[in-house]
A and B are shown apart, each in its own frame.
Chain A
Amino acid sequence: MFDIGAAHYMTLAAILFVMGAGGVMLRRNALIMFMSIELMLNAVNLTFVAAGREIGNSVGQMSVLFVLVVAAAEVVVGLAIIVAVFHNRQTANVDELSEMKG
């Protein structure tokens, strides 16, 4: 078998990130888009931890904690918005929510 190093983690993180970004750009369901965003955030977390371990200090882990906190707050607000929209419109399709067109 081969050793698993930082490069592997980074590659995995990149794949996850692209999947997340693709989800945000392609899916129409707000809930799915939201999950994709979480995926992107976690891809970044993975990069942080891997890089931190590679460099040999704890800054990476620390940053992850920050991201987690922000993500938690974001989830609270975001889900509340989605629920509210769904209550009013009976849909979570973002393409139908285009009243802000300029």
Chain B
Amino acid sequence: MVDLFIENLWVIIALPLLGAVALHFVGRFLPEPIAGVVATGAIGTAFLFALVAAVPMFIGGEEAHAQIITIWDWMPSVGAAFELRWDPLAALMTLIITGVGSLIHIYSIGYMHGDERFSRFFTYLNLFAASMLTLVLANNFAMMFVGWELVGLCSFLLISFWYTRPSAAAAGKKAFIVNRIGDFAFLIGLMALFSAFGTLSFSTILESPGEVLTAGAAMTICLMFLIGAAGKSAQIPLYIWLPDAMEGPTPVSALIHAATMVTAGVYLVARTASLYALAPDASTIVATVGAVTALWAATIAIGQNDIKKVLAYSTVSQLGYMFLAVGSTAYVAGVFHLMTHAFFKALLFLGAGSVIHGMADEQDMRKMGGLRKKMPRTHATMLIGTIAIAGIPPFAGFWSKDEILASTFANGGWFFVLWIMGLVTAMLTAFYMTRMLLMTFYGESKWAEGIDPHESPVTMVGPLVALAGLSIVGGLINTPFAPVLEHFLEPSLEGIEMAHVSDNLVLVVLAVLSILAAVVGMGLAWLIYLKSQKVRTAFERGTRRPFLAWENAYWIDNLYGNLLVLPGKALAMAAARFDLSFVDGIVNGVGVITSRASTKLRPLQTGFVRNYGVGLAAGAVAVAIWLLASGI
């Protein structure tokens, strides 16, 4: 019975794809909620399908090992068959994508109410789900790359969904172009892999890459993959597109730019763990990039006043955590955090969307405040999300974050520095999230005249409640006492050495430290933004300069603009001038010469037949003379 589901695994991809195709053609004839219900049905069914197909993995044992389902041989010579890989890692990703995706689909029915392109939105959402599932279910890099590019396309389409806004159109382009840089590096890595193995199939490459790859080749490939992953997962130096991506509708931010697509980079590193095992230095670089990004983005998040921007930088920061984890060879911790983050960050984004919805599209937190009474359910769920991300036990965020920090600590050496960065980030995370919560829901109301905040409809609050539930209990699947997820993922990570803390005392001390960081962060924010206006004034005066830097995100966009965009534009202008003057000059020159020459030669054509006769005769005589003169 279950085997039947696994054999027909392609249905998981086909369902949302079918939904997208159907909505594309008939969507605009459907009344508003129907299009959303169709899309939700498609992805919801895919979720249930995946749940049944994953049963053997829940049971464990021999059955849980990777099963390869070949659908058709696409390019057999390069090992790029249309093959699906069904193993615990793929199953977990599939369940997150379809599960969280379903909730966000439901939420979107309420959120996108009244939008004139309502059905088109769901077309894109379903297309995204199909693409992302292709990415995680692929059994070779070629197919994975197809999914990788398709999610980028969907991201572009959804960021610039309200394309009449110039800022949204620009943000879409920015995301696409920055991603392209990463994709280029990813592609180079794939070519290097192919030239070494002669195939792109996971089954061959990931089995025992050490027999084929030299350490140097593994290093090159892993670094190229890191750049690719940094592009997709918004790590330094390619993170700049993610904050701008908040121009898209809020459910898009929640689904694509928090819960699923941006985790593709983490998935890539976890999937290619056996390659990274050959290049420990590459892993260290991954961890360093992650830790620096986490700290860097967390500081920026403190200075943001746009509620979605806070969450965007928070996402960059949390993705940094995941990179820190997979770079510290704590793959389970990384994937664990990926999962819990999907829960609480989707919750926070959807909560923010609910607030924005209730505030008539106001996003500036300085014009909110005191919303607790007006939106009690949104407030309650957001509170849960904030506590979860801040890392207070027993909420989801604590368990995964603590595991990452412990694993980093366990590696020792340079990783000790990264651990400290992670710990500081944990404190900052608690601080800025509490700041956001307090500025939005507590204190005096500061909303503008004529705005009447109201609680959102049940289609929006329902998913919030579900995600809040997951944010509370989601962490319990992998506690140090009962590492269920670790056992679950074991078949996917066989033979990979992973960082571990074995000493229980150390584990407890680390956990206490991480809780302390969270409590200090939350307490400080509470003191400054709620308790005492005096402290707040003093704080703001004392941190005026750094705040300016944080508010402007360290002026990185300006830096990139001056350093890369301006020279790029200058080069393009020069090329255009060269094209206009030189290349076009040659083409036009040929035309001008021909035209002038023909003007000069035209009078030869007199129109008198007898002249032509004379010409012929003269020619014949000339030929005759020439023949005679040359002595024939």
Contacts and interface: CB of A to CB of B under 8 A. Distances in A.
A73 interface: no
Interface string B602-631: 111111111001100100000000000000
Contact of A102 (B606, B610, B613, B614): B606
A95 interface: yes
A101 B605 CA distance: 5
B48 to A, nearest CB: 82
Q: Which of B604, B605, B606, B613 has the most CB of A within 10 A?
A: B613
Contact of B605 (A24, A25, A100): A100
A94 interface: yes
B294 to A, nearest CB: 80
Contacts of A97: 607, 609
A26 interface: yes
A71 interface: no
A102 B617 contact: no
Nearest to A36: B613
B602 A102 contact: yes
Given A21-B617, A25-B617, A95 B603 contact: no
Interface in A20-35: 21, 24-26, 28, 33
A3 interface: no
A98 interface: yes
Nearest to B604: A102
B610 A26 contact: yes
A101 B602 CA distance: 8
A26 B611 CA distance: 10
Nearest to A27: B610
A61 B80 CA distance: 74
Nearest to A30: B609
A73 B222 CA distance: 81
Contact of B603 (A26, A98, A102): A102
Nearest to B615: A25
Contacts, number: 37
Q: Which of A24, A33, A97 has the most CB of B within 10 A?
A: A24
B interface, over-half SS: helix
Contacts of A100: 605, 607
Interface string A61-87: 000000000000000000000000000
Contact of B613 (A24, A95, A101): A24
B619 to A, nearest CB: 12
Contacts of A26: 610
A33 B613 CA distance: 10
Contacts of A94: 608-610
B610 A95 contact: yes
B610 A24 contact: yes
Interface in B329-350: none
Contacts of B610: 24-26, 28, 33, 94-95
Q: Which of B601, B602, B606, B607 has the most CB of A within 10 A?
A: B607
A98 B617 contact: no
Nearest to A22: B617
A28 B608 CA distance: 10
A100 B607 CA distance: 5
Contacts of A28: 610
B285 to A, nearest CB: 75
Interface in A25-49: 25-26, 28, 33
B602 A98 contact: no
Interface in B520-567: none
A71 to B, nearest CB: 17
B607 to A, nearest CB: 3
A101 B604 CA distance: 8
Contacts of B609: 33, 94, 97
A79 to B, nearest CB: 16
A99 B608 CA distance: 9
A96 B603 CA distance: 17
B607 A101 contact: yes
A25 B603 contact: no
A101 B606 contact: yes
B603 to A, nearest CB: 6
Nearest to B617: A21
A18 to B, nearest CB: 10
Contacts of B608: 94-95, 98
A80 B182 CA distance: 76
Nearest to B611: A25
Contacts of A99: 607
A98 B607 contact: yes
B614 A25 contact: yes
A86 to B, nearest CB: 15
Contacts of A33: 609-610, 613
Contacts of B614: 25
Nearest to A100: B607
Nearest to A98: B607
A45 to B, nearest CB: 17
A36 to B, nearest CB: 9
B220 to A, nearest CB: 68
Contacts of A25: 610, 613-614, 617
A88 B621 CA distance: 36
Nearest to B610: A25
A17 to B, nearest CB: 10
B553 to A, nearest CB: 71
A24 B607 CA distance: 15
A25 B613 CA distance: 6
Contacts of B617: 21, 24-25
Interface in B245-296: none
A46 to B, nearest CB: 18
Nearest to B620: A21
A26 B179 CA distance: 81
Contacts of A24: 610, 613, 617
Given A97-B609, A98-B606, A100-B605, 19 more contacts: A21-B613, A24-B613, A24-B617, A25-B617, A26-B610, A28-B610, A33-B613, A94-B608, A94-B609, A94-B610, A97-B607, A98-B607, A99-B607, A101-B606, A102-B602, A102-B603, A102-B604, A102-B605, A102-B606
Interface of B: 601-610, 613-614, 617
22 contacts: A21-B613, A24-B610, A24-B617, A25-B610, A25-B613, A26-B610, A28-B610, A33-B610, A94-B608, A94-B609, A94-B610, A95-B610, A97-B607, A98-B606, A98-B607, A100-B605, A101-B605, A102-B601, A102-B602, A102-B603, A102-B604, A102-B607
Q: Which 9 A-B pairs have the closest CB atoms?
A: A102-B605, A98-B607, A101-B607, A102-B602, A94-B609, A24-B613, A100-B607, A25-B613, A25-B614
